[in-house]
Amino acid sequence: MKKLFASLLAVFMAIPSAYAIHTNSNVWGAWGYGDGVKWDSAQDFIIDGCVGQGCSHGTCGDEWGLVGLIALNIVDHGGYFCPYQLQCANERKNKHTWTVYYLPNGYDDSKCVWLCEDGYGGENCEPIPESRPSFCDPNILTTEAEGIYSDISLRTDRCGSDPKESTVTGFSSWKDDYGGGVLNRKRDIWETDVLLGAIKFLQHGVIAAPIKAQCGRNNWSDIDSYVNTLHAAPDLAKLLCAPGYRANSDGTDCVAINQDVCEIAGMTLCAYFPRDSYTSATHKLYEDTEAGCTKYFCSEEGMAFQGVEDPTCVECGIPVKSGSNLVNGTCVSCDTGEYYDSETGTCKPANAYSKTDLQYGLNQTKNTQSDVDMQCWPAKVPEEYVECVKKGYRAQPMDNKFPLVWDN
């Protein structure tokens, strides 16, 4: 009977508490975590909330907490980070206070991301080749106005609803979770979790380090529980970058692996314009507001795509007689008597101008416009000359003209 009881007890103790985070000692070596860790301030970890009770309470009126960017999954070369709310819970005056986790205000799954060391990327931060990446995260990973964490804040309602401890992984956790026994006021230490969190936000990555959060409590008749201490291990910090980014030369920031991929990462490209074929060296971007998407064309005049969905730029012809089809970027060649209209990407009938028109303007002669300064032919600037010929007149005497004998 005693053996049976011992076996059942062992099984029961092996079952993790519903209120406990998962711990992963397998990553200790990769992160340098273990005995002798030097702890320092972790104030920069906090997105909202506070240590102690100097801010709004959490989901319950007698429970305080804070919000930070926490790794739900820790691997050797990075982690899967989400904005999470760490809160210190309580139940009765003779019980410990323990850590609980909730989704903060502003949370969305799209704000979770794998952040990895240089040379690693994707799910679980696997080694990646140094080639053009297939994806570049368009999000700005900061708490500033343009960042995706700018609207993250402490949740202060729905007390005790939908806790998320089971989704959190940490380096370690100790002392009692919920139901951990009667409180001894003289010697008890509240529950402590060691997590992986962001201690500095960059536009396309973070500086991450182990974060140690310990709960505390006061008021022996009515319990108030809160984050008592919060520390970081900056000596163990690593630069982690978003998908499509790598460490810069001095390892202080994240830069694009391929700038072209990242430039169009947040854009919706129109049909016939492959994302993986765009290069800023040969293409220029064009926002099609009517279609609600982005196109790109050959940036060099007289060039167009070799074929539909083949944006290799090839010679198309004389610019005034040819150009890019604005639907798919291929070459448009105009017939005799037509010209290429760059605004529509089509050929249009060309107007016939006589020699007299080219001198004085459409339907004008030297007799109808006797003032030489108002005639077209002396114009020095090509755009002014073309405008004069098309309109048949000048609104005012031109300043930029070739010098005339009688001007001297």
CB atoms within 10 A of CB 247: 18
pLDDT computed for residue 176 by the predictor: 57
pLDDT computed for residue 1 by the predictor: 43
Residue 298 and residue 381 in one domain: no
Confidence grade of residue 177 (pLDDT, cut at 50, 70, 90) = low
36: left (phi over 0), alpha (psi -120 to 50) or beta: left
Average pLDDT over residues 134-159: 95
Domain boundary among the residues 233, 260, 287 is at 260
* φ/ψ of residue 97, rounded to 5: -105, 145
Beta bridge partners of 408: none
Domain boundary among the residues 260, 293, 308 is at 260
Kindly state whether residue 124 falls inside one of the protein's structural domains. Answer: yes
Average pLDDT over residues 28-54: 95
* φ/ψ of residue 27, rounded to 5: -100, 0
Kindly state whether residue 5 falls inside one of the protein's structural domains. Answer: no
pLDDT computed for residue 87 by the predictor: 96
Residue 325 and residue 214 in one domain: no
pLDDT computed for residue 357 by the predictor: 86
Confidence grade of residue 329 (pLDDT, cut at 50, 70, 90) = very high
Kindly state whether residue 184 falls inside one of the protein's structural domains. Answer: yes
Kindly state whether residue 8 falls inside one of the protein's structural domains. Answer: no
Instruction: Dump pLDDT digits (tens) for 281-308.
Output: 999 999 999 999 999 999 998 899 999 9
Instruction: Dump pLDDT digits (tens) for 343-375.
Output: 899 999 988 888 888 888 888 888 887 777 778
Instruction: Dump pLDDT digits (tens) for 200-239.
Output: 999 999 999 999 999 988 866 678 899 999 999 999 999 9
Do 228 and 237 touch, CB atoms closer than 8 A?
A: no
pLDDT computed for residue 6 by the predictor: 39
Distance CA 267, CA 181 (A): 56
Residue 289 and residue 390 in one domain: no
Distance CA 80, CA 68 (A): 13
Residue 296 and residue 345 in one domain: yes
Question: Which residue is associated with the tokens 């060649």?
Answer: 333
Average pLDDT over residues 304-324: 92
Distance CA 87, CA 60 (A): 9
- Look at 222 and 381; give whichever has higher pLDDT: 381
Q: What is the mean pLDDT of the chain?
A: 87
Residue 44 and residue 180 in one domain: yes
Distance CA 109, CA 309 (A): 33
Q: Is the pLDDT assigned to residue 10 strictly greater than 60?
A: no
Domain boundary among the residues 329, 349, 369 is at 349
Kindly state whether residue 3 falls inside one of the protein's structural domains. Answer: no
pLDDT computed for residue 187 by the predictor: 43
Q: Is the pLDDT assigned to residue 139 strictly greater than 60?
A: yes
Residue 292 and residue 162 in one domain: no
Residue 331 and residue 374 in one domain: no
Q: How far apart are the first and last CA of the chain?
A: 124
The half-sphere exposure of 360 on its side-chain side, counting CA atoms within 13 A, is 12
Residue 211 and residue 68 in one domain: yes
CA 34 to chain centre: 33
pLDDT computed for residue 14 by the predictor: 36
Do 227 and 88 touch, CB atoms closer than 8 A?
A: yes
Residue 332 and residue 307 in one domain: yes
Do 202 and 179 touch, CB atoms closer than 8 A?
A: no
Kindly state whether residue 30 falls inside one of the protein's structural domains. Answer: yes
Instruction: Print the domain residue range for 290.
Output: 267-349
Residue 279 carries which DSSP code?
A: -
pLDDT computed for residue 395 by the predictor: 66
Kindly state whether residue 192 falls inside one of the protein's structural domains. Answer: yes
Residue 213 and residue 311 in one domain: no
Average pLDDT over residues 257-265: 93
pLDDT computed for residue 7 by the predictor: 41
Q: State which amino acid sits at residue 95.
A: K
pLDDT computed for residue 384 by the predictor: 85
34: left (phi over 0), alpha (psi -120 to 50) or beta: left
Kindly state whether residue 368 falls inside one of the protein's structural domains. Answer: yes
What are the start-end ranges of the H helices in 244-314?
259-263
Number of domains in the chain: 3
Which stretch of DSSP H or E encloses residue 310? Answer: strand 310-315
- Look at 383 and 304; give whichever has higher pLDDT: 304
Kindly write down the DSSP assignment for every residue of 81-132, as one continuous string: EEEEEEEEE--STTB--EEEEEPPBT--GGG-EEEE-TTEETTTTEE--SS-
Which stretch of DSSP H or E encloses residue 66? Answer: strand 65-75
Of 84-98, 172-186, 347-361, minimum mean pLDDT range: 172-186
Distance CA 202, CA 149 (A): 12
β pairing state of 169-170 and 126-127: unpaired
Distance CA 44, CA 113 (A): 19
Question: Residues 129, 133, 137, CA angle at the centre, nearest 5°?
Answer: 130
Residue 319 and residue 197 in one domain: no
Distance CA 152, CA 145 (A): 11
Residue 102 and residue 62 in one domain: yes
